[in-house]
Amino acid sequence: MSHVDPLLKRLADRVESEALTLPITLVVCGTTVTGEVVPHTVWAEHIAEQLGDSASRASAFSADFTWATEVPEQNRNYLHLNGGKVVSGGAAFPEHGGLFRIGLDEVSGWFLGEIKVHG
């Protein structure tokens, strides 16, 4: 059975309710992920913009993320990272960070602050 750290849940709820951001590093299924926690609507808006600007068929999904900015999540069981990076062996990827959605119940450890990898 999965377990959600109550303090991490409280921090995630504050990010959502107060439209805050929070630099964080997480251990997710044994993988280190670092980035900035942002509200769900900010995350969805960024993805909608990226998809809308795409020349590929993926642009058709932009409307789904635009919808997600208008409909608040009810359960708030996810962290949404902007500039998220997977950190491994002294390197981080994607190089410029990405948009991550991570289930709170998948986080086994965390600390406040981002890991900075210098190449």
pLDDT digit string, tens, across residues 34-68: 999 999 999 999 988 888 887 778 888 888 888 87
CB 24 within 8 A of CB 89: no
Higher pLDDT, residue 118 or 83: 83
Residue 82: pLDDT over 80: yes
DSSP 107: E
Query: pTM for this one?
Result: 0.88
Three-state DSSP state, 7: helix
Q: Which of 56-60, 84-88, 102-106 bottoms out in mean pLDDT, i.e. has the lowest? A: 56-60
Residue with tokens 């709820």: 13
Give mean pLDDT, residues 71-95.
89
